[in-house]
């Protein structure tokens, strides 16, 4: 039985982490022996989604740098055929740890380089290491076509090593989870004229909730009947709660916190809203389509324009532009959508479809020996 090791920082509720969880479950059900390694034990948001046939190992490290020798020992002992990692600092870790070992290394790059550096200048150090060590990877997976430019021109990855695989998102088990009962008095409001708008994303600057709140403020001032639900946690929570109060939106905005099952909320909403300044793909957009919920998203770099490619799925709006976003929301809520068109589009991002791309890649890497 061939062995795959997948490496992530932790099991926090983010898109990159869920990507690895989805791939791990796919591989173990294709008769691979799967080991999922987390650098730290912090955060277990996705632990309940992991197949019990998967072996889990935590390196118990407070910093990625401190886990180098621990990971190296495990790779040397387990001798996997394939190592898969995600997020730049973890990718660099796996590149260094795999030196002189025989495993094939596949790294997933999800984040636009310049946007990541602009949001946190210390990231430039990580990217300098990436420029040096990404060449050691057998394949670098990009999550959207636009991101290829960053890989080639900023991280100097040879073009023949780059593959575009969309993030594996949709699966029957998530559709089943969407049928779970919601126990929230605000969400269960029986007023049919009250439109439900939802965002599922971390409460961080990148997601630009400030512009989202300014956008729904325009709706509230125009007399539009809605409630805006925010599902997520993060460092901006208290700042955003204060902003809601200052904008007099207390009766319109509800913070739901983190949920292991966001699908039931998305499925029962009239519209999914994403106002990010940049994205790594926009996994939540594909999840929303899977559940038949139309989308309004900023046309940010990169990913949304590859998912929402026509107005039968939703609308793309300008980044950091409350007027454009509020207009998009109104247009979308007035439009009648064919849910089956949304669902059909999401099939492109199914775990089964994307997983097969990885199996084909394994075969190619074996044949290239």
d(CA 274, CA 269): 14
Q: Which of 39, 48, 43 is nearest to 89 (CA)?
A: 39
d(CA 198, CA 153): 36
Same domain, 241 and 132: no
**Each residue of 255-270: b (16+ CB within 10 Å) or e?**
ebeebeebbbbbbbbb
Same domain, 154 and 265: no
Structure tokens at 154: 């900023």
Considering only residues 210 and 192, tell me which one the structure prediction assigns the higher pLDDT.
Answer: 210
Same domain, 162 and 187: no
Average pLDDT, the chain: 93
d(CA 73, CA 310): 49
pLDDT band at 368 (very low <50, low <70, confident <90, very high): confident
pLDDT of residue 369: 65
d(CA 182, CA 198): 14
DSSP code, position 301? B
Structure tokens at 125: 């150090």
Average pLDDT rounded to a whole number, residues 309-329? 96
Confidence check: pLDDT of 152 > 80: yes
Chain centroid, CA 135 distance in Å: 25
Same domain, 264 and 326: yes
Structure tokens at 320: 């950091």
Same domain, 123 and 213: no
DSSP code, position 138? S
Average pLDDT rounded to a whole number, residues 342-355? 95
Same domain, 78 and 225: no
> Contact 249/299 with Cβ under 8 angstroms?
no
pLDDT band at 188 (very low <50, low <70, confident <90, very high): confident
Same domain, 129 and 230: no
Nearest 10 degrees: CA dihedral of 282, 285, 290, 295?
-170
When divided into structural domains, the chain yields a total of: 2
List, for residues 218-227, the tens digit of each pLDDT value. Answer: 999 999 999 9
pTM reported for the whole predicted model: 0.92
Average pLDDT rounded to a whole number, residues 347-361? 96
Same domain, 202 and 259: yes
What sign results for the dihedral spanned by CA atoms 88, 75, 1, 172?
A: negative
pLDDT of residue 66: 86
Average pLDDT rounded to a whole number, residues 167-177? 93
d(CA 60, CA 232): 25
> Contact 164/148 with Cβ under 8 angstroms?
yes
d(CA 79, CA 61): 22
Parent domain of 48: 3-168+350-367
Same domain, 209 and 117: no
Alpha-helix runs per DSSP H in the chain: 15-28, 68-78, 88-97, 113-119, 123-133, 147-153, 172-177, 209-221, 237-246, 263-267, 283-290, 304-307, 322-334, 339-346, 351-367
Contacts of 341 (CB under 8 A, 6+ apart): 312, 313
Same domain, 18 and 115: yes
Same domain, 139 and 198: no
Contacts of 189 (CB under 8 A, 6+ apart): 227
Same domain, 115 and 203: no
CATH assignment at residue 327: 3.40.50.2000
């Amino acid at each position: 039985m061939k062995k795959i090791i997948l490496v992530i920082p932790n099991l926090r509720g983010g898109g990159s982490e869920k990507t690895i969880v989805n791939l791990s479950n796919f591989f173990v059900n294709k008769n691979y022996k799967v080991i999922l390694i987390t650098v730290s034990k912090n955060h277990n948001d996705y632990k309940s989604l992991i197949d019990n046939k998967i072996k889990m190992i935590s390196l118990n490290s407070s910093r990625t740098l401190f886990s180098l020798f621990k990971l190296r020992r495990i790779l040397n002992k387990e001798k996997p055929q394939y190592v898969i990692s995600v997020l730049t600092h973890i990718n660099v870790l796996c590149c260094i740890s795999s030196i002189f070992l025989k495993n094939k290394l596949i790294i997933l790059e999800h984040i636009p380089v310049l946007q990541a550096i602009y949001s946190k200048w210390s990231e430039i150090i990580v990217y300098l290491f990436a420029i040096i060590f990404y060449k050691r990877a057998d394949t670098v997976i990009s999550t959207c076509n636009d991101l290829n430019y960053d890989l080639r021109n900023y991280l100097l990855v040879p073009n023949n090593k780059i593959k575009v695989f969309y993030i594996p998102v949709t699966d029957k088990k998530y559709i089943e989870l969407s049928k779970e009962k919601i126990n929230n008095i605000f969400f269960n409001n029986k007023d049919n004229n009250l439109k439900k708008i939802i965002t599922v994303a971390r409460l961080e600057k990148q997601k630009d909730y400030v512009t989202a709140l300014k956008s729904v403020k325009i709706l509230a001032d125009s007399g539009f009947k809605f409630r805006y639900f925010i599902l997520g946690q993060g460092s901006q929570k208290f700042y955003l709660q204060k902003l809601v109060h200052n904008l007099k939106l207390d009766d319109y905005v509800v913070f739901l916190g983190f949920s292991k099952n966001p699908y039931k909320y998305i499925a029962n909403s009239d519209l999914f809203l994403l106002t990010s300044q940049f994205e790594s793909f926009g996994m939540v957009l594909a999840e929303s389509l899977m559940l038949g919920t139309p989308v309004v998203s900023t046309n940010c770099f990169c990913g949304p324009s590859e998912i929402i490619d026509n107005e039968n799925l939703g609308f793309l709006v300008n980044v950091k532009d409350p007027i454009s976003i509020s207009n998009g929301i109104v247009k979308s809520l007035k439009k009648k959508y064919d849910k089956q068109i949304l669902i059909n589009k999401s099939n492109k991002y199914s775990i089964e479809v994307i997983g097969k791309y990885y199996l084909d890649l394994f075969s190619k890497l074996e044949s290239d020996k």
